[in-house]
Amino acid sequence: MPHSSLIGHVEIPVSDLEEAKKFYDQLFGWDFKPFGNSYYLYNSKGTTVGLRKCNNINKDYSSTIFHVRVDDVEAVMNKAEILGGRIFRNKTIIPVYGYYALIHDADGNTVGVYQDQNQ
């Protein structure tokens, strides 16, 4: 079996599973399904994303951040704010590559959004 170094799963700690499910579904179109006790799972047929119910969430903003490829960083930033998220870093150019921004969900988790330069 060939080895792959691509990320297979990302887990997001959340205080309210239903609110987080709604936020990420409306922001990125991720259709989470119940998966075990206090857990939701979205399967993109390549990378899975889990929402895990936690009582305490570490809001250390120096932790690992994953970035979601989107068509329009600004549109996603605006939508995140409407859905109750907060902008942590505005749209920023990455020379030669494109743009990115950082948003916080209701629990303060940092999620990056990335747009290719040619979009």
Q: 115 and 72 in contact (C-beta within 8 Å)? A: yes
Residue 18: predicted pLDDT: 96
Interval 3-34: pLDDT, tens: 556 778 999 999 999 999 999 999 999 999 99
pTM for the structure as a whole? 0.86
Interval 84-117: pLDDT, tens: 999 999 999 999 899 999 999 999 999 999 999 8
Q: How confident is the model at residue 1 (pLDDT cuts 50, 70, 90)?
A: very low
Choosing among 3.30.70.260, 3.40.190.10, 3.30.470.20, 3.10.180.10, the CATH entry for 9-55+63-116 is 3.10.180.10
